[in-house]
Homo-oligomer: A and B are copies of this chain.
Amino acid sequence: MATIRDVAKLAGVGIGTVSRVISGNGSVSNKTLIKVNDAMAALKFIPNTSAQSLSSKRFNTIGLWGTKSSGEMSRATLTKIERELQPFDVSLITTDGERNSVNHPNASRLSIDKLINKGCDGLIIWGSDMPEFDILQLEKEFPNIVLLNNNVKAMPEKSFAFNHYDAGYIAGQHLVDNGHKEIAYISGWFDTSDANERHHGFIDALNENNISIHENLIYRGDYTFKKGFEGANYLFNQEPNFTALFCANDQSAMSAISALSSKGVDIPNEVSVLGYDNMNIASYTNPPLSTINVPVQKMAVSAVRKLINLCYGADLEIDYSFDAKLIERQSVIQLN
| A contact set with B: CB distance below 8 Å | 46, 48-51, 53-54, 59, 61, 68, 72-76, 78-79, 82-83, 86, 91-96, 115, 117-119, 224-226, 228-229, 254-255, 257-259, 261-262, 280-281, 283-288
> Given the known A-B contacts A91-B93, A91-B95, A261-B286, are A50 and B54 also in contact in the complex, defined by CB atoms under 8 Å?
yes
Residues of chain B contacted by A68 (CB below 8 angstroms): 79
Q: How far does the Cβ of A48 sit from chain B's closest Cβ, in whole Å?
A: 7
Other-chain residue from B118, B257, B280, B287 in contact with A91 (beta carbon distance below 8 A): B118
Specify how many copies of this chain sit in the oligomer.
2
- Of the A-B pairs whose beta carbons lie under 8 Å apart in the complex, a sample of 11, sorted by A's number, is A46-B117, A48-B54, A49-B117, A61-B118, A72-B74, A72-B76, A82-B95, A92-B93, A226-B280, A226-B283, A258-B288
Give 18 A-B pairs besides A46-B117, A72-B74 with Cβ atoms closer than 8 angstroms.
Answer: A49-B117, A54-B54, A73-B75, A75-B75, A79-B96, A82-B94, A82-B96, A91-B95, A91-B118, A92-B94, A225-B283, A226-B280, A254-B284, A258-B284, A258-B288, A261-B286, A281-B281, A286-B286
A286 to B76, CA, bound (A): 26
A257 to B287, CA, bound (A): 11
Q: How far does the Cβ of A328 sit from chain B's closest Cβ, in whole Å?
A: 17
Pair B49/A119 contact, Cβ less than 8 Å: yes
Residues of chain B contacted by A53 (CB below 8 angstroms): 50
Pair A93/B93 contact, Cβ less than 8 Å: yes
A27 to B287, CA, bound (A): 69
Q: How far does the Cβ of A176 sit from chain B's closest Cβ, in whole Å?
A: 27
A92 to B93, CA, bound (A): 6
Q: How far does the Cβ of A111 sit from chain B's closest Cβ, in whole Å?
A: 9
Residues of chain B contacted by A254 (CB below 8 angstroms): 281, 284
> Given the known A-B contacts A82-B94, A93-B91, are A225 and B49 also in contact in the complex, defined by CB atoms under 8 Å?
no
